[in-house]
Amino acid sequence: MRSTSHGMTLTQHLIEEQRKHNNNNITANLRLLIEVISRACRLISYHVSRGALGEAYGSSNKKNIQGEIQKKVDILANSILLEANEWGGNLSAMASEEMEDIHLIPDCFPKGDYLLLFDPLDGSSNIDVNVSVGTIFSVLPYLEGNIPTETSFLQKGSHQVAAGYFVYGPQISLVLTTGYGVNCFTLDRELGSWILTHRNLRIPPDTLEYAINTSNQRHWYAPVQRYIKELIEGEDAARKADFNMRWIASMVSDVHRILHRGGIFMYPADKRTPNKPGKLRLMYEANPMAFIVEQAGGAATNGKNRILDIQPQSLHERVAVFLGSKNEVDRVTRYHLEG
Ligand code: AHG
Ligand code: MN
Ligand code: MN
């Protein structure tokens, strides 16, 4: 594989992949779609970096479909992604964590073979304190030909043809999978190009680092209580090792750390909301992250089942999430299955 003196760009990488795999899964249209998303997210990163200097700072005082107060930048990031992706001709519809209903491609634009889902700004509670946030996206196939409905989106995560996330942090990163491993690109802000900087990321199967919001501990079910208790007890007890804890409260940043050095991320269901399992959203957060993590050799379950095998029942449904280093995810999943 050849690259320019500036390194391999996202476009070059996708064309190489397209050729290597004979257009299997990575088509020219999918490549163009990913390029449009990456341009839109470059713009989002600009607005995020403006912080208090920009117009999209602070709360909008409006609530989204999730019942959460939206930041102004949640709304801005959502409109940037909608606008950028409407005209490209690669999509039939979009769905967003910030919108109650799906967004059809307007009649004036051509339609394509894909559906796009996104969390326009993940971790937005952190944004006003200058902690890394990001955008998560998922691409599903759409081959039905007629006008898509919400049901068209209710496909298992295993149907995804691409997924990725952007981190707006000290560096702007794009982590992407099209089903052939996971690669990380860094935005060269001067050139405006995404350069491949981390090829074929692999999550080590073992780890001594975990991520969970322990303020919810009293609400957890027994299997999570058991697992975390053992981690905290450290080397004098069952696990015979000391574990470290990190919780950034931006899923993109926590998953990014795990992709680079291993770890387990957990957002379990808890007793407060038995009919609303967990906090994270299956379609906008859990599925794309599970696809990426599995492609990097890790595992992702809802405590009992593989996340990518869950049949979604509704667009905004929530799910418990355990993902990251395989042996730890397997262990906490086993604790759930043992009851
Ligand atoms: P979002 O900002 O898109 O609503 O997502 C926030 C999510 C996720 O990024 C993070 O892992 C989790 O919420 C943090 O939850 P706590 O507030 O319980 O720490
Ligand atoms: Mn989110
Ligand atoms: Mn969000």
Question: What CATH homologous superfamily does 10-198 map to?
Answer: Fructose-1,6-Bisphosphatase, subunit A, domain 1 (3.30.540.10)
Instruction: Round to whole Å and give the CA distance between 171 and 187.
Output: 7
How far is CA 67 from its chain centroid?
Answer: 20
Q: Can you read off the two tokens belonging to residue 88?
A: 């490209």
Q: How far is the CA of 339 from the centre of ligand 1 (A)?
A: 27
Residue 128 has pLDDT above 90, yes or no: no
Q: How far is the CA of 71 from the centre of ligand 3 (A)?
A: 9
Residue type, 88: G
Taking CA atoms only, the protein residue closest to ligand 1 atom 6 is 123
Q: What is the pLDDT of residues 213-229, one digit of tens each?
A: 999 999 999 999 999 99
Q: What is the pLDDT of residues 279-330, one digit of tens each?
A: 999 999 999 999 999 999 999 999 999 999 999 999 999 999 999 999 999 9
The 10 Å CB-count burial string (b at 16+, else e) for 215-252 is eeeeebbebbeebbebbeeeeeeebeeebeeeebebbb
**Ligand 1 pocket test, candidate residues 250, 258, 289, most atoms within 8 A of CB:** 250
Taking CA atoms only, the protein residue closest to ligand 1 atom 12 is 249
Instruction: Round to whole Å and give the CA distance between 278 and 272.
Output: 10
Taking CA atoms only, the protein residue closest to ligand 1 atom 16 is 249
Instruction: Round to whole Å and give the CA distance between 292 and 205.
Output: 15
Identify the pLDDT of residue 93.
98
Q: What is the pLDDT of residues 178-204, one digit of tens each?
A: 999 999 999 999 999 999 999 999 999
Indicate the angle between helix axes 28-50 and 10-20, nearest 10 degrees: 160
One DSSP character per residue, 88-153 reads SSSEEEEEETT-SS-EEPPTTS---SEEEEEEEEETGGGGGGT--EEEEEEEEE----S---HHHH
DSSP 270: B
β 209-211/244-245 pair status = parallel
Q: What is the pLDDT of residues 242-276, one digit of tens each?
A: 999 999 999 999 999 999 999 999 999 999 987 77
Identify the pLDDT of residue 338.
95
The ligand 1 atom at the shortest distance from the C-alpha of residue 252 is 9
Domain limits, the chain = 10-198, 209-338
In sequence order, which residues have a C-beta less than 8 Å from that of residue 218 and are 6 or more positions away?
A: none
Identify the pLDDT of residue 64.
87
Closest ligand (CA of 96): 3
Instruction: Round to whole Å and give the CA distance between 120 and 69.
Output: 14
Whether 209-338 and 10-198 are alike in CATH topology: the answer is no
Confidence band, pLDDT 50/70/90 cuts, at residue 57: confident
- Computed over every residue of the chain, the mean pLDDT equals 95
3 state DSSP class of 318: strand
Instruction: Round to whole Å and give the CA distance between 159 and 181.
Output: 16
**Ligand 1 pocket test, candidate residues 98, 279, 316, 319, most atoms within 8 A of CB:** 279
One DSSP character per residue, 54-86 reads SSS-SEEEEE-TTSPEEEHHHHHHHHHHHHHHH
Q: How far is the CA of 124 from the centre of ligand 3 (A)?
A: 6
Q: Can you read off the two tokens belonging to residue 79?
A: 């409109």
Options 3.40.50.20, 3.40.50.11540, 1.10.490.10, 3.40.190.80; which CATH number does 209-338 get? 3.40.190.80
In sequence order, which residues have a C-beta less than 8 Å from that of residue 143 and are 6 or more positions away?
A: 113
Kindly list the distances between the CA atom of residue 76 and the CA atoms of 44, 80, 117, 123, in Å, as whole numbers in the listed order: 8, 6, 16, 15
Confidence band, pLDDT 50/70/90 cuts, at residue 4: low
One DSSP character per residue, 124-139 reads GGGGGGT--EEEEEEE
- Other Cβ atoms closer than 10 A to 110: 10
Residue list, ligand 1 pocket, CB within 6 Å: 68, 97, 119, 122-125, 213, 249-251, 279
Asked whether 301 and 267 are in contact (CB, 8 A), the reply is no
The ligand 1 atom at the shortest distance from the C-alpha of residue 123 is 2
User: Which of 72-76, 263-267, 329-333 is predicted least confidently?
Assistant: 72-76
The ligand 1 atom at the shortest distance from the C-alpha of residue 216 is 18
Identify the pLDDT of residue 244.
98
Q: What is the pLDDT of residues 141-171, one digit of tens each?
A: 998 888 999 999 999 999 999 999 999 999 9
Identify the pLDDT of residue 144.
85
What is the maximal distance between C-alpha atoms in the chain?
66
The ligand 1 atom at the shortest distance from the C-alpha of residue 119 is 3
